[in-house]
Amino acid sequence: MSRRSHKIVHTGIAQPVAYATLMVAGLVTGLVLGLAPASASVSWHGDYETGSFSQWSSVQEKASDRAQVVTSPLRQGSYAARFTVQPGDTDVAGSGSWVRSEAMIGQSTSDGVEGHENWYAWSMLTPPAGQPINVYQATQFHPTGSGGSGQTGFSISSSYGLNFHAFGEPDPGSSNTRKYDATVAPYQADHWYDIVFHVLWSKDRSKGFFEVFVDGKQVVPLTHAATLFAVDDGVYMKQGIYTGPETYAMTLVYDGTRRGSSYQDVVADFPAGEWPVRPPS
């Protein structure tokens, strides 16, 4: 994606002077009002623009070539990340018979804490036509403790499409209760899905909520539910591929992953012209 540029044409001596005066006035006004840059509400970037996985806490992979920072394909900026699993990529960071190639951040960076509200956004590229994929967790928010095997996240399959599932514990003793499970977008091969996940993390179903936007459309309305298990103190974030064993290799590419405090801030890095100014009602 090329970055937008602005061209200013000066037709005389007075115009640059007037323009400079306006710029100074605007700067002074911003300082007086305490305005912050537009990106100030983006609390964390995992967009690989460092040219490495340094924005993430760790990478879990079977071999050193399974997770790679790449310069193509891209959705934004100069770098993205390609995650691959091969048949037999089992026993990776406790995966057992399942296969895994993921980057992760801890709870403090994920901000998956009781009562905390966040907007997460990222772009995910599916394989070319003819290459099947079946990923149970493409992006997941994993319980920090022993909250069962369930976790809130997104799966992708060439058979059914992009799925969102949310786990919580609405009643005592009902751990691993799935509160929401639905296909939110049809499958498209070689397609960048632009995803926004808005959530308030809470064990209290009257306080917790979530909503999802895909490719500029609200696909899950704001839904109140418990978003944390009662036995856990929060969640942490993982992204890549975690799934059951298959007989074929699978690859997903991610770009622009970030966490912010508003819809407007997290959608700002998506390609221009593809997102509304604010969420639809």
**In the prediction, which pLDDT does 232 show?**
80
pLDDT (0 to 100) of residue 188: 98
CA dihedral 128, 129, 131, 132 (to 10 degrees): 120
Q: What is the pLDDT of residue 30?
A: 36
Question: What confidence score (pLDDT) does residue 148 get?
Answer: 54
Say if residue 122's pLDDT is above 90: yes
**Residue whose C-alpha is closest to residue 1's, from 74, 51, 79:** 74
Q: Per-residue pLDDT for 18 more than 60? A: no
Residue 55 predicted with pLDDT over 80: yes
Cα separation of 98 and 88, whole Å? 9
* Residues 67-106 pLDDT 10s: 999 999 999 999 999 999 999 999 999 999 999 999 999 9
Whether residue 40 has pLDDT greater than 70:
no
CA distance linking residue 174 with residue 111, whole number of Å: 25
Encode pLDDT of 181-192 as tens digits.
999 999 999 999
Residue 256 reports pLDDT greater than 90: yes
Confidence class of residue 275 from pLDDT cuts 50, 70 and 90?
Answer: confident
pLDDT band at residue 198 using 50, 70 and 90 as cut-offs? very high
| Exposed e or buried b per residue across 164-180, where buried means at least 16 C-beta atoms within 10 angstroms of its C-beta | bbbbbbeeeeebebebb
φ/ψ of 224, rounded to 5, equals -80, 135
Mean pLDDT across the chain, nearest whole number? 84
Question: Angle 265-50-44 (CA atoms, 0-180°, nearest 5)?
Answer: 30
- For 187, counting Cβ atoms within 10 Å of its Cβ (0-12 exposed, 13-18 middle, 19+ buried), the class is middle
Query: pLDDT at residue 211 above 60?
Result: yes
For residue range 136-184, what is the model confidence (pLDDT) as tens digits? 999 999 998 755 556 799 999 999 999 999 987 655 445 556 678 999 9
- For residue 279, cis peptide bond before it (omega within 30 degrees of 0): no
